Amino acid sequence: MTHTIATQINSLLAALILLSAFALLAQRKIMGLVHIFAWQGLLLALSTAVIGYASGEHHLYISSLLTLGMKVILLPYILYKLVHKLKIHRDIEAVVNVPTTMLLGIILVVFSYHLTAPIRELSNLMTRSTLAVALATIMLGMLMMVTRRHAVTQILGFLAMENGLFFAATSATYGMPMVVELGVALDLLIAAFIFGIFFFHINTTFESLDVEQMAKLKETD
Amino acid sequence: MSLHPFVIELLQFALLLGLAPAFAGWVKVLKCRVQGRTAPGILQPYRDIRRLFGKDIVLAENASWLFRFTPYLTFGVTAIAAGIIPLISVDLPLSATADVIALVMLFGIVRFFTALAGMDIGTAFGGMGSSREMTIASLAEPAMLMAIFTVSLASNSTSLTQMVSVMAHSEFVIRPSLAFALAAFILIALAETGRIPVDNPATHLELTMIHEAMILEYSGRHLALIEWAGMMKLTLFFALGIAAFCPWGIATGGDTGLLLLAFVALSAKLVVGACVMVLIETGLAKLRIFRLPEFLGSAFLLATLGMIAFFILE
């Protein structure tokens, strides 16, 4: 009984994660993006905890807490500070044609559904159906990195991709070994510091975080 | 005592015709209260309709038969929709003749003729209103169909009565697909009934009006019929939402007691639904018209996500 309810709640959370991935694609304001990213992290942490409860794999509680600490509190806080320090918190990015990006996103979701269909048939875990959502989140994060031009937005796309990967690991195999998870968390933290430093450098060199500016670095002959 | 299905059908027509102005009045009263204005009273739409019926018609010299015919068509077709959407009972003989797709088409016919009538006189406002209305419709209709199809998938039928009886008697499960479809439906209903983020029903300000611009040239009983049909459309969209997403309490047969219970349930849901809509309307500002494709695009996205979620997660 609890098992089916847990599956349903997990499906709902997966659907909301997918929605948040689309919201990231559509949002124009940088601060709005950071908020949606934090919400996505929270949904991910909840989903991990629910899976941990239903499957009896208690190490998932630890990774849920880790997600909560890293992706809901620490990373958004670092980004928040960065955005304020760089004085871009009021920036509104000119996004190229949101409806087209959305349609591309839908195609990517259908694609990942077809890609994961065989795995779904083979698996007997309660989370087998959310694997497609996880893959779709990864692809949508990638789409965001490709279509956006702002450095901070691209990093957020990268982090959303990482969220998708984490979700995929939980759905496919009930999570990675603890050592790997701790390693990834640490890497993410280091990455946050590194891209923070990069933002400052890009900003001082080009006086903007628009990566199009980097075309100037090309040698002309 | 059990009623004959045809009696129920007639009862539904009477219910919609009689209750639609009261519902529109209730929405207005709520809106006034929330915004701190003095409310005109729940019966005001009835008085408005009576007043308009008592007035003479002023017709433009170059008005064709189309202009005179449209109000009757609008009223008639909207009333027919009341025979298809289960308001109090699913035992409707007329519903076998038309499913959800036909229902969307009925609303399409009304919109088509209203847009033609708007252009018929040849005033600038009429043409502008028609053009805007059709722009919105072309984006809202596919999204509406997608949202309804998601419910059809869950109930394996496009017949409304079938959908309602399946939804009302299935055991409770959390369905993300329906949550998405509901969110999409709310956005579309706001657009289709001309409520605030899309159109402002209370304004006659030249540059912002959409629906009002099309019917600006109407007067007398023509206007009364169009206004009444507009109120019915608002009520019908609420009824459709209730039927598709929370049909609990609807009667399955013609038992009088159950019908009465269904009526009470429907009224309660309408009252609550109006509160939700008024909160949305008060909380939002009207969108610029060039932002509307994005608004309706997100409705389409939500509806499609609902459909995808049905296949992936359920």
**Do A164 and A20 contact (CB within 8 A), yes or no?**
no
What is the mean predicted confidence (pLDDT) over B125-151?
A: 91
Q: Residues of B with CB below 8 A from A8's CB?
A: 173-174
Could you give the CA distance from residue B98 to residue B257 in angstroms, rounded to a whole number?
Answer: 28
Closest B-chain CA to A135: B312
Q: Would the pLDDT of B281 be above 80? A: yes
pLDDT value at residue B29: 93
Q: Chain B closest CA to A123's CA: distance in Å?
A: 14
Could you give the CA distance from residue A38 to residue A32 in angstroms, rounded to a whole number?
Answer: 10
Inter-chain touch B176–A133, beta carbons under 8 Å: no
Inter-chain touch A15–B305, beta carbons under 8 Å: yes
pLDDT value at residue B47: 94
pLDDT value at residue B276: 93
Bridge partners, B251 (sequence order): B89
Q: Does A50 touch chain B (CB under 8 A)?
A: no
Which residue, A3, A83, A2, is CA-closest to A35? Answer: A83
Which residue, A70, A53, A51, is CA-closest to A169? Answer: A51
Which residue, B203, B223, B222, B187, is CA-closest to B302? Answer: B187
Average pLDDT over chain B reads 89
pLDDT value at residue A204: 84
**Do B311 and B196 contact (CB within 8 A), yes or no?**
no
Token pair, residue B171, equals 């055991």
Inter-chain touch B179–A133, beta carbons under 8 Å: no
Closest A-chain CA to B312: A129
Could you give the CA distance from residue B210 to residue B295 in angstroms, rounded to a whole number?
Answer: 16
pLDDT means over runs of 10, chain A (221 residues): 79 92 89 93 94 86 90 91 83 74 91 90 82 94 89 89 92 85 88 87 81 75 61
Q: What are phi and psi of A92, to 5 degrees?
A: -120, 120
Closest B-chain CA to A109: B308
pLDDT value at residue A128: 82
Q: What is the pTM of this model?
A: 0.89
Q: Would the pLDDT of B189 be above 90? A: yes
Q: What is the ipTM of this complex?
A: 0.83
End-to-end CA distance of chain A: 71
Between residues A57 and B65, which one has the greater pLDDT? B65
Helix (H, G, I), strand (E, B) or coil at B259: helix
Mutation for B interface: A9, A19, A46, most B CBs within 10 A: A19
pLDDT value at residue A151: 84
Token pair, residue B144, equals 């509406």
Could you give the CA distance from residue A78 to residue B301 in angstroms, rounded to a whole number?
Answer: 31
Inter-chain touch B313–A129, beta carbons under 8 Å: yes
Closest Cβ–Cβ partner in A9, A15, A98 for B309? A15
Q: Chain B closest CA to A15's CA: distance in Å?
A: 6
Closest Cβ–Cβ partner in B173, B293, B305 for A99? B293
Q: Does A123 touch chain B (CB under 8 A)?
A: no
Q: Does B170 touch chain A (CB under 8 A)?
A: no
Neighbouring residues of A7: CB distance < 8 A, sequence distance ≥ 6: A54, A126, A127
Inter-chain touch A106–B313, beta carbons under 8 Å: no
Mutation for A interface: B138, B174, B304, B312, most A CBs within 10 A: B312
pLDDT value at residue B145: 92
DSSP labels for A94-133?
--S-HHHHHHHHHHHHHHHHHHHHHHHHH--STTGGGHHH
Q: Would the pLDDT of B26 be above 60? A: yes
Q: Would the pLDDT of B254 be above 80? A: no
Which residue, B64, B162, B168, is CA-closest to B118? Answer: B64
pLDDT tens-digit readout, B77-116: 999 888 888 888 888 888 888 888 999 999 999 999 999 9
